[in-house]
Amino acid sequence: MVDTLTRLCKIPAISPHNGGTGEDAKIKELEKIIRELGLDDKAKIKVEYVDDDKAPNKRRPSLFVEYPGKSSRRLCVLTHVDIVPEGDRNSWTLDPFQPEVRGSRLYGRGVSDNGMCLVASLFALKALINAGVEPGYTVSLAFVADEEMGSHFGLEPLLERDIYRRDDLVVVPDSGNDAGDFIEIAEKADWKLKFTVLGKQVHAALPHTGLNACRVANMLAYEVDEALHKAFTEEDDTFDPPFSTFEPTRRYANVPNINTVPGREVFEFDCRVLPSVSLDEAFDIVEKIRRDIEQKTGAKIELEVSRNDAAPTTSPDSEIVKLLTKSVREVLGIEPQTGGIGGGTFAALFRRKGIPAVVWSQECDGVAHQPDEFTEIKYLVNNAKVFALMMAGE
């Protein structure tokens, strides 16, 4: 399992919209691994493509494996093959794409998010086959593109192709904690704001002859941040954290030299908003600030909004929650609790389609997207055991 995870994580499947070449090479390697494991003897293997003009082959691949079981009802495990970029290489103590085992851990970009559970789902099915156990359910494994950038070239359009059914049991192992005692059944709304501030670029020695877009952007970011946090203070203990988050995150490069006043600034907010909060009301607050600062400064401010309202909650009494709870209890000897997170997994897409879905894994807290990302090897094994028990229908 460690060798397979290492092999896959040597292939940087980074979105072409984020400076990479996409998932083609990784999907091809994954197909080889599936055949080497002998899963293709009975399984149906299919690659689904979504058109993307920015991809080298003008399309993005997602791989599906379906293995027959005693029942035609499907247990679906979905992981994603894409990863985020490594970020600042100087913050890493190893090559992000040459994974290394250090003690009980495997280090490298994507080994946790989402490589560990991808490999665990494969080897869970392989373990049943090796043991001569016919799965209780038909097992559907999906290895999907573009999760990190919003699923616009992955699951979102694929769900429109009727690949999934309303009676499917869906688990998305893309979030969790060290204890493995948390089953996610709800997600906040995902609301992203992108501001473009247009001023006038001039020499820094003559700032009065231009309009400093950097200063306007600073003012705008501060006022939006303050106003949203002040307006929406409600809490819901279902979620961790229990409040809405409105975070200024990304700032784009402006001028390449220090002695130029920039005439253009672009920055973004990532907001994870409780279902009780009106996104329309939140937008009205932001829009008022945008107009006020335009009038005050003379700058032109453009605003792009990406909005995904909170999906319906999966019932704690649903069959998939019960199945997962039973398997976690047997493998880890603990009683998992249900709750909500900030959002951003495949599960919300299923819930909007009326298909209950859960998110679970035993994974290292706070390592995803960080330098020196790692996974505990025992978590890799534990996740495979949980998935195998679920597949067996025991």
Query: With contact defined as beta carbons under 8 Å apart, do 282 and 276 qualify?
Result: no
- According to DSSP, the residues that pair with 102 across neighbouring strands are 105
Residues contacting 73, CB < 8 A, separation 6+: 137, 138, 167, 168, 169
The reported pLDDT for the residue numbered 366 is 87
Q: How many CB atoms lie within 10 A of CB 113?
A: 25
Return the closest-CA partner of residue 362 out of 136, 173, 203.
173
| DSSP code string of 46-113 | EEEEEE-TTSTTSEEEEEEEEE--SSSSEEEEEEE--B-----GGG-SS-TTS-EEETTEEESTTIII
Query: With contact defined as beta carbons under 8 Å apart, do 229 and 248 qualify?
Result: no
- Which residue ranges does the chain devote to CATH 3.40.630.10? 2-187+310-392
The reported pLDDT for the residue numbered 45 is 97
- Catalytic residue, chosen from 23, 48, 146, 147, is 147
Query: Is 82 a known active-site residue?
Result: yes
The reported pLDDT for the residue numbered 222 is 98
CATH 3.30.70.360 fits 189-308, yes or no: yes
Judged by DSSP in three states, 289 sits in helix
Query: Is 294 a known active-site residue?
Result: no
Q: How far apart are CA 298 and CA 302, in angstroms?
A: 13
The reported pLDDT for the residue numbered 394 is 66
- Catalytic residue, chosen from 52, 66, 82, 86, is 82
In the numeric block, the tokens 């990302």 are attached to 373
The reported pLDDT for the residue numbered 155 is 97
Tokens found for residue 59: 């399309």
Average pLDDT per consecutive 10 residues, the chain (394 residues; last block may be shorter): 98 97 98 95 96 97 98 98 96 98 98 97 97 97 96 96 96 96 96 98 98 98 98 95 97 97 98 97 98 98 95 96 98 97 90 96 94 98 98 88
In the numeric block, the tokens 């973004």 are attached to 268
Handedness of CA 140, 144, 149, 153 (dihedral sign): negative
In the numeric block, the tokens 């080994």 are attached to 111
Q: How many CB atoms lie within 10 A of CB 317?
A: 8
- Which residue ranges does the chain devote to CATH 3.30.70.360? 189-308
Q: Per DSSP, which regions of the chain are E strands?
A: 44-51, 59-67, 74-80, 100-102, 105-107, 138-144, 169-172, 182-187, 189-198, 202-203, 245-251, 260-261, 264-273, 300-308, 337-341, 357-359, 374-376
Q: Considering the domain 2-187+310-392 in this protein, what is its CATH number?
A: 3.40.630.10
Strands 138-144 and 59-67, sheet pairing:
antiparallel
Query: With contact defined as beta carbons under 8 Å apart, do 177 and 113 qualify?
Result: no
